[in-house]
Amino acid sequence: MTTLNDQLPEPTAIRVDLGAIFVSMELSRSSWVVTSLLPGGGEKMSRHSVPGGDVVALMARFSALQEKARRRMGREFPIIVIQEAGLDGFWIHRALEKEGIESHVVDPASIATSRRRRRAKTDKLDGETLVRTLLAFKRGEPRVCAMVHAPNPDEEDRRRIGRERKVLTGERIAHVNRIKGLLFAQGVTGYEPLHRDRRDRLEELRTGDGRPLPRHIKAQVLRELDRLELVIAQVRAIEAERDAMLTQDGDATCADAASMLLKLKGIGAEGAAILCSECLWRPFDNRRQVAAYAGLAPTPWQSGSVSREQGVSKAGNPRLRSTMIQLSWLWLQHQPRSALARWFQERVARNGGRLRKPAIVALARKLLIALWKYVTMGVVIEGAVMRAA
């Protein structure tokens, strides 16, 4: 008698015979956990550990995996490696590619995980998940993960100027606030540490009750001024290096993009440098990818009859996103007759003058896409005013 179970086809295993050795790497300071899946071994994965940062030991482990696969299958197999983007940067990825190994860097936030409140997480489970993700990616499954577009060393190095300037600017603000706080506790207001006469003005200050500044408070403020002046000098040096990069960079593409951006009113040297180093060096297929990279893509929620918008995802480059918000406010000030500025004004007017902050985020997305089209395709923004030559 034939039963229902006899009629059902036997479950098939996941296809792993893709003609390669699939390897995932879990990186840490002390050790690297290597999880591998060899051809002819079914779905069984093996794990090995090598000292952290030891590329020679890693290559030896890869050679051992290839030798094992050759003995098992009778031929050579290439190695395909995946690792998560993290604090190690891209030097391991470049070292693997230099050895002729196909390497992929994945955005860890893009990998699907269990939605249980408490999910198990170990190096073993993470390594196996990465290998299965790599298998699905190589099989061509859509939306299985988001691979990171690794910059070359020159592109990565250009980012340092804008990022260091932001750090130095934060330190400058901290020194200014600390000096003002020390003086305010003595009843002194109106002192500006960023003015050139800051040291002369300090000698003239009196406390709120008419006394000269106490000796130790004055000494502390002077030491803060020493550190502040060092930061100011470093900011000037960084800005000079940034200006030289925008005009005399060895990469003609970056210099051309910067010169086009600087022709638009409302975009200065810092905004052009951030756009070139953080965004416009990357190839994008469409405007959705541009908005998603900046973390300005919408996040819909739709289930049955329920459909609402959750706002922007913010799953992107935070430096680019904050810069675009600042450029959007500047765009409204310097380009009030452009089509984008008129769209913003009409949008806010329909809401009775409210919801300016959500509208500025939408304007930032539109402005970034418009600037991308302007630089890559030469599409001039409608109504935009250029600087005089």
Structure confidence at residue 4 (pLDDT)? 43
* Tokens 């806010």 found at: 348
Q: How far apart are CA 201 and CA 187, in angstroms?
A: 15
CATH number of 21-139: 3.30.420
pLDDT at 143: 86
Nearest alpha-carbon partner for 50 in 35, 68, 32, 38 = 32
Residue range 252-288, pLDDT digits in tens: 667 888 889 999 999 999 999 999 999 988 889 899 9
* DSSP characters over 24-53: EEEE-SSEEEEEEE-TTSTT--EEEEEETT
Please tell me the predicted confidence (pLDDT) of residue 250: 54
DSSP β-ladder status, 79-84 and 21-27: parallel
Residue 378 has pLDDT above 60, yes or no: yes
123 Cβ neighbours under 8 A, 6+ residues apart: 26, 33
Q: Which of 90-99, 119-128, 211-220 has the lowest mean pLDDT?
A: 119-128
pLDDT value at residue 287: 92
E runs forming strands in 107-171: none
Query: Are the beta carbons of 127 and 45 closer than 8 angstroms?
Result: yes
Please determine, for residue 14, whether its predicted confidence score (pLDDT) is greater than 80.
Answer: no
Predicted confidence (pLDDT) per residue in 308-367, tens digit: 888 888 888 999 999 999 999 999 999 999 999 999 999 999 888 788 988 999 999 999
Task: With a cut of 50, say whether residue 237 has pLDDT above it.
Answer: yes
What's the pLDDT at 389?
A: 66
pTM of this structure? 0.81
SS3 140: coil
What band does 2 get if pLDDT is binned at 50, 70 and 90? very low
How would residue 11 be classed by pLDDT, with cut points 50, 70 and 90?
A: very low
> Using an 8 Å Cβ cutoff, are 324 and 294 in contact?
yes
pLDDT band (50, 70, 90) for residue 251: low
How far lies 150's CA from each of 225, 287, 325, in Å?
41, 20, 26
For 292-312, write each residue's pLDDT tens digit.
999 998 888 888 888 888 888
Average pLDDT over residues 201-229: 94
Render the burial of 33-72: b for 16+ CB within 10 Å, e for the rest: bbbbbbbeeeeebeeeebeeeeeebbeebbeebbebbeee
Report domain extents, the chain. Answer: 21-139, 153-248, 252-377
